[in-house]
Amino acid sequence: MNGFKHNIKIVSEKFGDLLNESFIDPTQFKLFLKMVHGCIELKNDLTFFNGVDFMIHIPYKYLCDSIVMTSLDEVSIVDQVRSKVEALVTK
């Protein structure tokens, strides 16, 4: 059984990769994309904290000068389990 991984990448000419994040849940990905789009349209800084382990703050002046790219990759269940096992082993 295969699933899909949604990726978003924000690249700045000055700073390089500002964000390179993957989402398994398509709803979370859609909400995150809407947040990025809203920040660009409303000319706000992109600031997000999930309350645990992920925080990002990109000022509007750098966000509007950056390239935002999204992609959809097919991922097998074996790859997902392998990456989780590798993460546990490296801790």
Domain definitions of the chain by residue range: 2-90
Residue 62 DSSP SS3: helix
Distance CA 42, CA 45 (A): 9
Q: What is the Cβ-side half-sphere exposure of residue 13, based on CA atoms within 13 angstroms?
A: 3
Residue 44, pLDDT score: 97
Residue 21, pLDDT score: 93
Mind listing the pLDDT tens digit of every residue in the chain (91 residues)? 678 899 999 999 999 999 999 998 899 999 999 999 999 999 999 999 989 888 999 999 999 999 999 999 887 777 666 666 666 666 5
